[in-house]
Amino acid sequence: MYKKVPAAYLQNKVTGEIGNAAGIFYPTNTAEVVACIKDAASKQQKIITVGGYTGLTGATFAKQEEFLLCLKEMQQIIKLDKQTLTLTVEAGVTLQAIQDYLAPTPYFYAPDPGSKAATIGGTAATNAGGMRALKYGVTRDNIRGMEVVLADGSIVFVGGLNNKDSSGYDLKDLFIGSEGTLGVITQLQLKLRVKPATSRSLLIGFNNLTDLAPVVYQILASTITPAALEFFEKSGLKYAADFLKIPMPTMTGTAFLLLTVDGSNAECLNQIESLKKLLEEADITTFKIFTTQEANLIWQLRGAIVSGVEASSQQEPLDIVVPINQITDTIVYMKKLTETLGLDGVFFGHAGDGNIHACIMRQNLADTLWQEQLATFLNQLYEKIAAIGGLPSAEHGIGLLKKKYFMKNLPSEKLGLMRQLKTALDPNAILNPNKIFD
Amino acid sequence: MYKKVPAAYLQNKVTGEIGNAAGIFYPTNTAEVVACIKDAASKQQKIITVGGYTGLTGATFAKQEEFLLCLKEMQQIIKLDKQTLTLTVEAGVTLQAIQDYLAPTPYFYAPDPGSKAATIGGTAATNAGGMRALKYGVTRDNIRGMEVVLADGSIVFVGGLNNKDSSGYDLKDLFIGSEGTLGVITQLQLKLRVKPATSRSLLIGFNNLTDLAPVVYQILASTITPAALEFFEKSGLKYAADFLKIPMPTMTGTAFLLLTVDGSNAECLNQIESLKKLLEEADITTFKIFTTQEANLIWQLRGAIVSGVEASSQQEPLDIVVPINQITDTIVYMKKLTETLGLDGVFFGHAGDGNIHACIMRQNLADTLWQEQLATFLNQLYEKIAAIGGLPSAEHGIGLLKKKYFMKNLPSEKLGLMRQLKTALDPNAILNPNKIFD
């Protein structure tokens, strides 16, 4: 049962730090998860549930001799139910495997986080988002039910195939996003949707970043329902183009909104017409409706920004979210702060969600200075974000790396409430201890 | 502070039973709610939060000298924010007041439960649904954030204006649907949407109830996104027509699906065309696309079924929900069971949600026989529902009236988990004690 832990599982992917673990176990079914947890509980052994090890916050990093419970061998796709539009899977199934399984069917699972090697259980534990969250919601909105093993080894099924539920407390949503601290998700019922027939993408260019926000408000307050509404800057896209060895496309402006609508051909045309009208009324002429080929290229570039940055420098990946009316002010604030501190940054994100990803880059800074400047940046940023009602994470989670900032800026009543819930469900703190909060 | 309790607040609306309460207090702001709860906590006085008193499950019924905390004077509409599309209101604002306030604006608040006299706080506490839930979600999906006073009098703000959140446990969804047992909701941030330009309704008639389900699956698995997808029978609609003193419209069939699509004119026409195609391919010719006037009439009738039944007989209102692929089997089962027991029933509901409302009617039965037969019916029904993965409540809540059946059919691990949460948040059980579960 206790196997040697692969080296990759001992390293904090973001910081490079090497941890330690008491061992690793790969259950192949729920009964084995139960046995493992009961065994651990009897010995007061701490447990970290691990999936694809693709997380960005150190949520599965072991540094206190925790025992790793790795679900990646629980990879059975159990059932496709066409009547309730539900796909039942084990927690270790990867997003890639789900996409491959559904490819020949008329259905799709909407959440589309960056890493397709992530396990579905891991995306539920972090409430992962992705490009399509604006129209189709985040992971939380696309899970019907889950089997969860609790800290005492009992099995509970939360949620289910009913489309509505006013029958007692909402247990399902308590486990989603709890990063393995309240229970181990072993099986999931995923909500499927019918694939849209087609999609169209449109790029809007701006010379001033601050001109971008009013257009976002107008789009969100219109009858247009974008599947994606991304923003990025020409400077950020350049990292992706260099990385992919693709020439930069011709673009008017320095900051951009990339919008996709999907549906039937008629619906797409209709939405694009509404968009053109909205942009004309706002006196914006710097937009371009893409051909499918052009759209594929720009989305490929958008998807490669982080890889491009990582190929160029060590970086701190941010995942902040702010109320939508604070989005450009926040980006402007972040840019000024990086400049003041002599740091370099690339800013992009899910504009329609108010979710700003930024890569704060080390470039050639000496290690001590980088650590110091980065700490100053993060301290000031997270304090500012909290002051305007934002949060440190929209879709990556808090884990270990954002814990300090999360706890510092969280109202004490809210932290108290989270601690009460943790104590109620895991009184001996055996499940992923000291993650999210201490 | 302790005022005389109005007689209406002492009566269980469904059973007619008369309870008793220690007093009633009408706070006008959150500080007064805090003071009241702290005072009650210090005296171990139990508290029931009351709103419009429109609930259907006895959730606010006092029978053990509880103290009523009535929020109906907290009726301030605080702010309309057009950038984040958010309406901030106090918990005592009624749905009617919200609809009236938004009428001259381009925005609407999507949830539309039957009683417009319900307070918004009450609809959050029960996670109320309504006709438009299929497209726009239930109350849970339309609340961005809430101010909640906890059992110790501390104030916590859960959720907020961020469109995504992976920053700690989902506290907001724990309070929504908790029927006043975990905290007192005092203020809410509601998600607004842009009003659709128009809508079209279509009626599909069936001679056999069992032919209805496959059409529901096909619609849900298509690209059509109905705002409403209701079912009812001619016999049920007759109660409404008699009550409203309106002649019954000409209809082909005995069981019906009433479907509405909304959006731009082009979108509506598009969806209606897709529907016609779907129905033609399924060999269904008994459908009718309504004019606005005809649609208004049929919706008026649909909305008056319960009033029509109530004008005719004492009744037990049901709110069960089943996985969508169990919907017609469940209705057929319920019909057979009522017949076997010599009871009369009217069946209708939100077909697209799997949410079956039924009125089980007493008619001329003697009181003892009615009580006996009804108890037998409910016992068998709720056991059957649980066996097929359904729930006793989709949108009304459990309260007092469904508690027995809810507890009996709930897996013990799930009940245990709910009790742990209650104990963690309200250790002295002062908030709406013995509701949902004992």
Rounded mean pLDDT, A22-39: 97
From start to end of B225-382, where are the E strands?
Answer: 228-233, 255-263, 287-289, 315-321, 344-350, 355-361
Domain match, B162 and B113 both: yes
- Residue to mutate among A132, A150, A156, A164, with most B CBs inside 10 A, is A164
Rounded mean pLDDT, A263-284: 93
> What tokens does A9 get?
């599982």
Domain match, B292 and B378 both: no
Give A-chain residues touching B395 at CB under 8 angstroms: 164, 166
Domain match, B255 and B296 both: yes
Domain end among B287, B305, B323: B305
Rounded mean pLDDT, A98-120: 97
Domain match, A142 and A115 both: yes
Question: How distant is the Cα of A71 from the closest Cα of chain B, in angstroms?
Answer: 22
Here the CATH number for the domain that contains residue B299 is 3.30.70.2190
- Interchain pair A150, B413: CB under 8 A: yes
Q: What is the pLDDT of residue A223?
A: 87
> Is-contact B192 B102, C-beta < 8 A?
yes
**Nearest residue in B to A195, CA atom:** B223
Q: What is the pLDDT of residue A113?
A: 94
Give A-chain residues touching B436 at CB under 8 angstroms: 168-169
CA distances from B277 to A200, A417, B283 (A): 25, 53, 10
> Is-contact A303 A230, C-beta < 8 A?
no
Q: What is the pLDDT of residue B3?
A: 72
Domain match, B234 and B151 both: no
Q: What is the pLDDT of residue A67?
A: 96
Beta-bridge mates of residue A269: none
Give A-chain residues touching B128 at CB under 8 angstroms: 166
Domain end among A194, A218, A241: A194
> Is-contact B144 B86, C-beta < 8 A?
yes
Among residues 17-36 of chain A, which lie with CB inside 8 Å of chain B?
none
Domain match, B81 and B190 both: yes
Q: Considering the domain boundaries, does residue B325 fall inside one?
A: yes
Under the banding of pLDDT at 50, 70 and 90, the label for residue A4 is confident
Q: Considering the domain boundaries, does residue B387 fall inside one?
A: yes
Query: Which amino acid belongs to residue A384?
Result: K
Q: Provide the sign of the torsion angle of the four alpha carbons A403, A404, A410, A416, taken in this order.
A: positive
Number of A to B CB contacts under 8 A, please give it. 256
The full DSSP string for B332-376 is HHHHHHHHHTT-EEEEEEEGGGTEEEEEEE-TT--HHHHHHHHHH
- Interchain pair A162, B270: CB under 8 A: no
Q: What is the pLDDT of residue A15?
A: 85
Q: What is the pLDDT of residue A107?
A: 97
> What tokens does A70 get?
């790795």
Here the CATH number for the domain that contains residue B353 is 3.30.70.2740
Give B-chain residues touching A411 at CB under 8 angstroms: 156-157
Q: What is the mean pLDDT of chain A?
A: 96
Domain match, A44 and A99 both: no
Q: Considering the domain boundaries, does residue A430 fall inside one?
A: no
Q: What is the pLDDT of residue A13?
A: 83
From start to end of A1-130, where are the E strands?
Answer: 21-25, 47-50, 66-70, 77-81, 86-90, 107-108
Predicted ipTM beyond 0.95: yes
Give B-chain residues touching A395 at CB under 8 angstroms: 164, 166
Q: Considering the domain boundaries, does residue A410 fall inside one?
A: no
- Interchain pair A170, B150: CB under 8 A: no
Q: Considering the domain boundaries, does residue B272 fall inside one?
A: yes
Structural domain total, chain B: 4
Q: Considering the domain boundaries, does residue B62 fall inside one?
A: yes
Q: What is the pLDDT of residues B121-171, one digit of tens each?
A: 999 999 999 999 999 999 999 999 999 999 999 999 999 999 999 999 999
> Is-contact A331 A209, C-beta < 8 A?
yes
Q: Considering the domain boundaries, does residue B344 fall inside one?
A: yes
Q: How many CA atoms lie within 13 A of B162 on its CB side?
A: 27
Domain match, B144 and B177 both: yes
Domain match, A205 and A299 both: yes
Domain end among A70, A92, A120: A70
Domain match, B393 and B348 both: yes
- Residue to mutate among A80, A143, A169, with most B CBs inside 10 A, is A169
- Interchain pair B421, A417: CB under 8 A: no
> Is-contact A430 A153, C-beta < 8 A?
no
Q: In order along chain B (438 residues), what is the average pLDDT of each group of 10 residues?
A: 80 90 96 97 97 95 95 98 97 98 98 95 97 96 98 98 98 98 98 96 94 93 94 96 94 95 91 95 94 95 95 95 96 96 96 96 95 97 98 98 97 98 98 97
The residue whose two tokens read 């979710």 is A355
Q: Considering the domain boundaries, does residue A357 fall inside one?
A: yes
Domain that holds residue A215: 198-305
Here the CATH number for the domain that contains residue B37 is 3.30.43.10
Here the CATH number for the domain that contains residue B146 is 3.30.465.10
Q: What is the pLDDT of residue A2?
A: 58
Contact with chain A for residue B393, Cβ under 8 A = yes
Q: What is the pLDDT of residue A435?
A: 98
Domain match, A287 and A330 both: no
Q: What is the pLDDT of residue A268?
A: 93
Rg (CA), chain B: 22
| DSSP-derived pairing of the beta strands B193-194 and B107-108 | antiparallel
Rounded mean pLDDT, A344-355: 96
Rounded mean pLDDT, A343-353: 96
The SS3 assignment for A268 reads helix
> Is-contact A188 A146, C-beta < 8 A?
yes
Domain match, B185 and B227 both: no
